[in-house]
Homo-oligomer: A and B are copies of this chain.
Amino acid sequence: MIKIGLIGYGYWGPNLARNFDANPDLELAIICDFSQDRLERAGMLYPQAKLSKDPEDIFKNNALDAVAVATPVSTHFDLAKKALLSGKHLWIEKPMTENVEQGEEITELAQKKNKVLFVDHTFIYTGAVAKMKELIDKGGLGDMIYYDSTRANLGLFQQDVDVIWDLAPHDISIMDYLMPAKKLAVSATGSHFYGDAIVPKALLTIYMENKLIAHINVSWLSPVKVRNTFICGTSKMIFYNDNDPSEKVKVYDKGVDLYETKEERYHLKVQYRVGDMYAPKLKDHEALKFGAQHFVDCIKNGEEPVTNGAAGIEVVKILAASKESLKKNGAPIEIG
């Protein structure tokens, strides 16, 4: 039995608690939050867990094997460091840290301490992403051309991060998992609201090796919820609509073959290849459940999670470059 303590019971913490509690190998031993009100709600659902307002109660507790950090990103580095230094495995929410240096320090510390570092890029553990990874790795899409995603809805505005830091980690982590090419530079542009205080809508372009490109559109100000991703290869194209309850991933046998003849101004439609579409059956599970199990397995077997420190750093690198590019109205920022 792996005993775990949870720090942060705000927006996401309750989902972690529920999944940790349901995992037969995990024991949710302590829940920590600064709000008395939240602790009480936690206590009703998990009467067996201790409740505390002080994270130190977790770090100094030698009976605990692991810590999950689900607090605002500005607190991640300190809490993560203390967790690892106190000899515990670490589950940390996305984005991993506020900057790349912090991410690297945490990752090195986990290695030195020989502890599992799991960054909660939840979508990696969905049935949809798993199926797309399988298709792409088998070469089913041909050469990759681009990744394009839109993640938009009405709310939630946050005051300590902009929409890029809030929503884009989902798309960046999926994209990096499916297209693990070297990232070269980022251009980011965004709209402003309420003076300059808030960026509720932004566009990222991520340049990669081999002319690969990713476009990511994130918004807190959309009248309808959009969760669309297009992944295009020379052989096949994917349309992944996370809002679709039954056919999230559609694989199109469509493509384009260009001929070099130049007789006519317009290439005719016959040069496009249009075949069947199919929507593979996806594993239907809660992603966090699989994530929690993977965390458990990595601890038991001493393995590295799929969403390890390196994956977390990659996301933070792109976020940090985006922040800089955003200030420069889209000027490209190289990724170190």
Contact = CB atoms under 8 A, between A and B. Distances in A.
A239 B222 CA distance: 9
The 9 A-B pairs with the shortest beta carbon distances in the complex, nearest first, are A187-B330, A278-B278, A189-B205, A223-B252, A223-B237, A191-B213, A329-B332, A330-B330, A277-B279
Interface of A: 10-11, 72, 145-146, 148, 150, 152, 154-160, 185, 187, 189-194, 196, 198, 201, 203, 205, 207, 211-213, 215, 217, 219, 221-225, 230, 232, 237-239, 243, 245-247, 250, 252-254, 256, 258, 262, 265-267, 269, 271-272, 274-281, 325, 328-332
Nearest to A186: B330
A205 B217 CA distance: 11
B265 A239 contact: no
Contact of A221 (B156, B207, B221, B232): B232
A107 to B, nearest CB: 26
Nearest to A267: B157
Contacts of A156: 266-267, 269
Contacts of A265: 10, 72, 158-160
Contacts of A281: 253, 274-277
11 contacts: A145-B193, A154-B272, A156-B266, A159-B267, A192-B213, A193-B211, A201-B213, A221-B232, A222-B237, A223-B254, A328-B331
A55 B28 CA distance: 36
* Copy total for this chain: 4
A191 B215 CA distance: 9
B155 A272 contact: yes
A29 to B, nearest CB: 19
Contacts of A148: 201, 217, 219
A67 B253 CA distance: 43
Nearest to A160: B265
Contact of A267 (B150, B158, B196): B158
A43 to B, nearest CB: 13
Contact of A187 (B224, B279, B329): B329
Contacts of A266: 10-11, 156, 158
Contact of A279 (B190, B193, B213, B278): B278
A230 B272 CA distance: 29
Contacts of A196: 211
Contacts of A217: 148, 215, 217
A332 B330 CA distance: 6
A276 B280 contact: yes
Contacts of A279: 276-279
A154 B191 contact: no
A129 to B, nearest CB: 17
Given A252-B223, A325-B330, A267 B155 contact: yes
A109 to B, nearest CB: 26
Nearest to A325: B330
A275 B232 CA distance: 24
A62 B218 CA distance: 56
Nearest to A284: B274
A274 B154 contact: yes
Contacts of A272: 154-155
B205 A223 contact: no
